[in-house]
Chains A and B, each alone.
Chain A
Amino acid sequence: MRALKLAKKDEKKLFSVLEKFGEVWSPMPKGKRFSYEKIEDPEDLVLHEECIRTILPVKKFLMPPDFNILSFTPQKFTINNEEIPFKIVVSVPACEIHAVNILTKFYTTDYVDNYYMKRREKLIIIGKSGLPDEHCFCHKTNTSIVEEGYDLFFFDLGDYYLVWVGSEIGDDIVRKGSDIFDENLPKDVSQKFVEFRKQKNKSYKNNPDMEGVTDLMELMYDAEFWDEFGDKCLSCGQCTMACPTCTCFNIIDDLELNKELGHRRRYWDSCQFKDYSLVAGQHNFRGSKAERLKLWYTHKLKAFIGHFGSPSCVGCGRCIITCPVDINVPTVVEKLKS
């Protein structure tokens, strides 16, 4: 793996290098929050000092909230082969890159989801290690450092960025921008890098005690607090939309009004909705809100380990600032521990 330097004075030139590779997307303010938006102005490319937690995570590029997968007539079907442009998404925090790696594992193990992979292959990820805010807890989910899944990854070391190259495309980018990316690293780079990491580790203000949580999910499966959460839950489904590792979707067929033509739509679904677990004969495996919440937290904190070797919560803190009634990973963990 290569490492280079980008002087901060050259930061504004980054856009003109990146735009040669595709559309550039960067976190832009949306109310009090941020959202990844396509940018045209080099001034909009900002490498923020703090980790930026957008409303929707990077998964919105990889599995759009609502899209057509194929069209059909009574005789045949045609896969939607719309051209997916290369998208370069900038300022992606380490936890989100972990989340993308989890999604990729999920969508390629046993069966390959081509709709996902087609988009993953066209997504260039420029990561950025920022300082945590009051909600971040990636240090507790082992996702504060990332070693794969990005094309470039930036560390802010004072008057320059240390840039890790993580892929062939990343290497192409630094070659194309050879006038701003410098292979000669300063002598004090390792010392500064260690200092940055120490500083980052000291900056966490949210410290949920995640130790042993996987086992406690099993032991506390029938605990009363689940019903208390169930009484509070609004079933709005926002937690699952905001979570960077939620993968569930629904598929329906839409027919055109006056033609023998239909379209198969795929859109995000939520396990927190009653109809999600509704089956033939009006039977519902998870009729109560408490059962549905238990399913979600089991999936995030326990079940994923059995299948893929790690829990699927990456500590991004989105559930904390999304759920209106304060049901989120840290509050559930607190109950598990009490």
Chain B
Amino acid sequence: MKKRPTIGIYGFTGCAGCQLALLDCEDELLDIFSALDIKVFYEAMSNNDDNALVDIALVEGSINTNKQTQELKEIREKAKVLVAFGSCSNHGCVQAMALGDGEWEQRFKQVYGDMKFTVAIPREAQPIHKFVKVDAYIPGCPPAKPQMLRALTQLMHGNQPTYTNSPVCLECMFRENECLLYNGKLCLGPLTIGGCTAPCPSHNIPCIGCWGIIDEANHISELKLLKEKGFKAEDIIRRFRIFGGSDIVEKIQKLLEVI
């Protein structure tokens, strides 16, 4: 039998839902387990081998403490290919919505007061590429099954995961939905990485951008459009921020100029 690629699935700060999404691939679980030699997967198994060298490391979650930074660097050293798995590790996700606004320490103090931290020193949530080289990205909050399995298969064969660099609107149109943005809803579909198969707009719920911002997202045009439709600029920018993570920080300044 051909040697199975080894894999470690690691979780940092987040809801652990991406790992759960992997376990939710019920019909394919036996295939996943027999195709890959899983060395680390704390959410799903005991007897994890923390020291194992792995062919593929799937890293979920954002980095929120100095201890996590160290652990992430150790994973990097042990892994041939390191993959950012899910929105938290890709962009920072919800916990990074106010990244770089300079008020993190103040907010932290409001919640934790003068508590002393001994095991790990907390820091502002950051995506993993701020600390280590990331070889591939699987976006999603959580990643969708077809795209996640495709990416895993490609990684197993030693290839880069491919995903179309297209917004949510592509699959939204595949499902023949009315355009919510055209109909005056605050939908972030055109700004958001697709691949989710557009479940929210298909149920008449506008896209909230949970997969992160697409390369060419035209925030300025969408902001102008939504203002014309009667939304308040600060509310729109707040919505952009929720899942925009570190990627939105540099765009915010330009958006403020438009207001």
Contact = CB atoms under 8 A, between A and B. Distances in A.
Interface of A: 30-33, 35, 55-56, 60, 65-66, 231-238, 241-242, 250, 252, 254-258, 267-270, 273-275, 289, 321-325
28 contacts: A31-B178, A31-B204, A32-B178, A55-B176, A55-B178, A56-B173, A60-B176, A65-B174, A66-B174, A231-B218, A233-B218, A234-B191, A252-B162, A254-B150, A257-B31, A257-B156, A258-B32, A267-B174, A268-B174, A269-B166, A274-B165, A274-B216, A275-B164, A275-B165, A321-B182, A324-B179, A325-B221, A325-B225
B154 A255 contact: yes
Contacts, number: 105
B238 to A, nearest CB: 20
Contact of A254 (B34, B153, B189, B216): B153
Interface residues of B, number: 39
Contacts of A241: 169-170, 173-174
Interface in B163-199: 164-167, 169-170, 173-174, 176-179, 181-183, 189-191
A322 B182 contact: yes
A234 B221 contact: yes
A66 B197 CA distance: 12
Q: Which 10 residue pairs are nearest across A and B when measured between Cβ atoms?
A: A241-B173, A236-B169, A236-B190, A234-B190, A258-B31, A65-B174, A31-B178, A258-B35, A275-B165, A257-B31
A237 B221 CA distance: 15
A88 to B, nearest CB: 19
A324 B190 contact: yes
A233 B31 contact: no
Question: Which one of B34, B166, B178, B191 has the highest number of Cβ atoms from chain A below 10 Å of its Cβ?
Answer: B166
B28 interface: yes
Contact of B179 (A65, A256, A258, A322): A322
Contacts of B174: 65-66, 241, 267-268
A60 B173 CA distance: 11
Contacts of A30: 176, 178
A257 B32 contact: yes
